[in-house]
Amino acid sequence: DTGVSQNPRHKITKRGQNVTFRCDPISEHNRLYWYRQTLGQGPEFLTYFQNEAQLEKSRLLSDRFSAERPKGSFSTLEIQRTEQGDSAMYLCASSLGPVGNTIYFGEGSWLTVV
Amino acid sequence: RKEVEQDPGPFNVPEGATVAFNCTYSNSASQSFFWYRQDCRKEPKLLMSVYSSGNEDGRFTAQLNRASQYISLLIRDSKLSDSATYLCVVLSSNDYKLSFGAGTTVTVRA
């Protein structure tokens, strides 16, 4: 499978614990995006990387959230001290160049905070 | 005000029917527009781009009205497999941030 890969696909965690999600983009794609989607809503932009540089971080991302893309390949999204409001599907996407070209989404990582 | 607003539906239509719905966007500087399809608990997938002159892709027709800042999608001869949530998506004046509507749910019944 040469698409965008995310893992874990599902994570249940207790409030206050830290979680980390990983995204492996399509290999030649230089742009990587994280979105969050809750029930009944469309995906909301979280952050954007061009190669290894994080060029924008949404106001939605509190200080408990951090994303990295070392070496411009895979990316991680870490949530510290999780809260119930963090429960959502976290979507990673990648594209080659501007997103006017096709952007490809991974299958998402579902987080449930109990 | 949300950047992209959609009628959430649901639109419940029989097979073979035509269904159409709109979305509106707030940023007049938006440069590109798309419809994505999302099945339950799956990732969004591009259905079609929307061009100023309007465009068709098989049974799907998309229209853009820049003056009124709305986008429409029409599905002709609905199939059961068209049942999904349709997300209206706008690319902002930068070239990387997509803004999604909350989606319009379509259910096609036999």
Per-residue confidence (pLDDT) for residue B93, from 0 to 100? 73
Size of interface A-B (CB pairs under 8 A): 56
CB A26 within 8 A of CB A84: no
CB B73 within 8 A of CB B21: yes
Q: Which of residues 11-30 of B touch A (CB under 8 A)?
A: none
Which parts of A15-52 are beta strand (E)? 19-24, 31-37, 44-50
Would you call A42 and B100 a contact, using CB atoms and an 8 Å cutoff? yes
| DSSP state letter for A68 | E
Helices (H) and strands (E) in chain B, counts: 0, 11
Q: For B77, how many CA atoms within 13 A lie in the half-sphere containing its CB?
A: 4
Q: Please list every residue in chain B whose beta carbon sits closer than 8 Å to the beta carbon of residue A31.
A: 96
**Cis amide leading into B14 (omega within 30):** no
Placement of tokens 């999904």 in the chain: B84
Mean pLDDT of A72-89: 96
Average pLDDT over chain A reads 93
pLDDT band for B110, please (50, 70, 90 cuts): very high
pLDDT above 90 coverage of chain B, percent: 77
**Higher-confidence residue: B94 or A77?**
A77
The alpha carbons of chain A give a radius of gyration, in whole angstroms, of 13
Which chain B residue's Cα is nearest to A91? B43
Which of B4, B91, B99 has the CB atom closest to A100's CB atom? B91
Per-residue confidence (pLDDT) for residue A101, from 0 to 100? 64
Mean pLDDT of A91-106: 85
**Tokens representing B39?**
């099945």
Would you call B98 and A103 a contact, using CB atoms and an 8 Å cutoff? yes
Per-residue confidence (pLDDT) for residue B105, from 0 to 100? 96
Residue A8 pLDDT exceeds 60:
yes
For B4-28, how does the pLDDT look when each residue is reduced to its tens digit (9 = 90+)?
A: 999 888 999 999 999 999 999 999 8
For A20-43, how does the pLDDT look when each residue is reduced to its tens digit (9 = 90+)?
A: 999 999 998 999 999 999 999 999
